């Protein structure tokens, strides 16, 4: 049997692909899996509420939208920012390690591997979209080509894939960025990434000023003026220059992770590290709650609106690093995040994110008539949304996503005769 045939059989092995959902590979970073799982669960819960607006009676939706207990759910869009941090950390780390091992970054191999990782499942979901009655389904090509974040939200298909477009656009830039930073010392690399983040905040401030964006434009659910909501979404919410801060925060964390002594310093930081974690978590909370600047002077509004997602990203990236250190608080956080119960959700996160809104809208159309007057819609809809989403995600993962991952070209290794690369 040829090597190619063996790889093909292994890639489509049902038993092997199902097992990979539940069994962590050797050497994986458990806390990152847990954070990815929490991010996708947060987003799926947000979608369960958000897409109910299109099927529930208006009074039921209004009750749901303005329920105080739903506020953490309505901040589920920050689950995407958490995804961005993790993506920046993992992709930059992979490229930095390749640069260290081989002395360069193989761009063609990187892009082929990324497409085989992401495209198969996206093509399947795009095909499902074409079977729906969505009047915008003819725009599905923009999602497949990772361009839909550049079109108005009112005309796109698979509207939630704007985040995938931003990730793919980041993949186009990240290898070149790291190539340019390659000759620098680690501290200089980190300073360069921080400077880029500062530049993005400056650009975001220009967007906020030019478009007269106000704090309530950061509200995804409670904005009653849908024309204003669409405008804010298009100029403030889904553009790469407004969201790349979290990705760069992940890149910065990847640089720090490879700096000699950096994690040891965090691990031995004692109360200082604990206090820094508390501050980071507090900043993450403030970043998700725009009303904190609803009555402050305009310059403070602008500063908040230009930086709140970057602040969330940097804070989350710091927490990631602490969970990977030997600090007692880091270990305390890492233990539940590394739970085997969270790992399957982490493995299904990409397929679940892709298919979730389609599943949710189908479920809600079938069940919304069963929501009784005065009954809490989420108690009826959310459990079925969750179960159906992860069942569909498991099917896509096992039969499409995982085979694509297994058939990717092998990553390059440093030639045996090459000298070791510099410590990253």
Q: Which two tokens stand for residue 85?
A: 């941090």
**What pLDDT shows up at residue 140?**
97
What is the reported pLDDT for 416? Answer: 35
Q: What stretches of 295-401 show up as alpha helix (H) in DSSP? A: 298-323, 328-337, 343-347, 349-367, 377-396
C-beta neighbour count of 176 within 10 angstroms: 11
d(CA 311, CA 304): 9
DSSP summary character for residue 214:
-
pLDDT for the residue numbered 44: 96
**Are 257 and 93 a contacting pair, CB within 8 Å?**
yes
Tens-binned pLDDT, residue by residue, of the chain (424 aa)? 577 778 888 899 999 999 999 999 888 899 999 999 999 999 999 999 999 888 888 888 888 888 888 999 999 999 999 999 999 999 999 999 999 888 889 999 999 999 999 999 999 999 999 999 999 999 999 999 999 999 999 999 999 999 999 999 999 999 999 999 988 899 999 999 999 999 999 999 999 999 999 999 999 887 768 899 999 999 999 999 999 999 999 999 999 999 999 999 999 999 999 999 999 999 999 999 999 998 999 999 999 999 999 999 999 999 999 999 999 999 999 999 999 999 999 999 999 999 999 999 999 888 877 776 656 788 888 999 999 999 999 999 999 999 999 999 876 644 333 333 322 2
Q: How far apart are CA 57 and CA 158, in angstroms?
A: 24
Other CB atoms within a 10 A radius of the CB of residue 152 amount to: 12
Would you list the domain boundaries of the chain?
Answer: 27-404
SS (H, E, C) 242-293: HHHHHHHHHHHHHHHHCCCCHHHHHHCCCHHHHHHHHHHHHHHHHHCCHHHH
Least Cα distance to 288 among 81, 54, 56 occurs for 81
Residue 378's pLDDT is: 84
For residue 273, CA distances in Å to 258, 326, 327, 330 come to 19, 11, 8, 9
Predicted local distance difference test score (pLDDT) of residue 417: 31
Q: Are 99 and 424 a contacting pair, CB within 8 Å?
A: yes
Tell me the whole-structure pTM to 2 decimals: 0.94
Radius of gyration of the chain (CA): 22
CA distance 268 to 270: 6
**How far apart are alpha carbons 247 and 143 in whole angstroms?**
20
CA 224 from centre of chain: 27
DSSP 369: G
Which of 292, 279, 284 minimizes the C-alpha distance to 311? 284
Tokens of 3: 């090597």
pLDDT value at residue 60: 81
Q: Hey, CA dihedral for 136, 141, 144, 148, is it positive or negative?
A: negative
């Amino acid at each position: 049997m040829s090597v190619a045939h063996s790889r093909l059989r292994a890639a489509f092995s049902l038993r092997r692909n199902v097992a990979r959902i539940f069994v962590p590979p050797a050497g994986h970073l458990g806390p990152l899996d847990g954070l990815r799982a929490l991010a996708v669960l947060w987003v799926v819960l947000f979608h369960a509420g958000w897409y109910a607006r299109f099927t529930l009676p208006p009074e039921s939706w209004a009750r749901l939208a303005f329920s105080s207990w739903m506020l953490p759910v309505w901040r589920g869009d920050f689950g995407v920012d958490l995804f961005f941090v993790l993506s920046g950390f993992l992709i930059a780390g992979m490229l930095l390690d390749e640069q260290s091992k081989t002395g360069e970054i193989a761009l063609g191999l990187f892009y082929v591997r990324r497409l085989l990782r992401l495209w198969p499942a996206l093509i399947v979901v795009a095909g499902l979209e074409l079977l729906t009655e969505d009047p915008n389904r003819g725009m599905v090509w923009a999602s497949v080509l990772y361009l839909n974040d550049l079109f108005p939200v009112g005309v796109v298909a698979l509207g939630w894939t704007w985040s995938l477009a931003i990730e793919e656009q980041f993949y186009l830039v990240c290898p070149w960025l790291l190539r340019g930073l390659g000759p620098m010392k680690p501290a200089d690399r980190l300073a360069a990434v921080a400077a880029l983040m500062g530049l993005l905040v400056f650009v975001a401030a220009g967007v906020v000023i030019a478009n007269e964006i106000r704090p309530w434009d950061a509200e995804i659910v409670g904005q009653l003026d849908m024309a204003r909501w669409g405008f804010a979404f298009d100029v403030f919410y889904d553009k790469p220059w407004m969201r790349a801060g979290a990705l760069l925060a992940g890149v910065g964390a990847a640089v720090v992770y490879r700096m000699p002594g950096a994690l040891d310093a965090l691990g031995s930081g004692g109360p200082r590290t604990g206090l820094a974690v508390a501050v980071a978590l507090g900043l993450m909370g403030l970043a998700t709650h725009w009303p904190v600047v609803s009555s402050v002077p305009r310059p403070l509004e602008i500063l908040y609106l230009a930086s709140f997602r970057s602040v969330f990203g940097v804070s989350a990236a710091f927490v990631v690093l602490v969970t990977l250190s030997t600090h007692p608080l880091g270990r305390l956080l890492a233990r539940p995040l590394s739970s085997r119960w969270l790992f399957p959700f982490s493995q299904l996160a990409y397929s679940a994110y892709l298919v979730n809104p389609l599943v949710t809208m189908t479920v809600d159309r079938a069940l919304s008539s069963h929501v009784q007057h005065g009954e809490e819609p989420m108690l009826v809809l959310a459990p079925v949304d969750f179960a159906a989403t992860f069942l569909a995600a498991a099917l896509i993962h096992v039969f499409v996503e995982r085979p694509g991952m297994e058939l990717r070209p092998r990553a390059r290794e440093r030639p045996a005769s090459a000298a070791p690369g510099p410590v990253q």
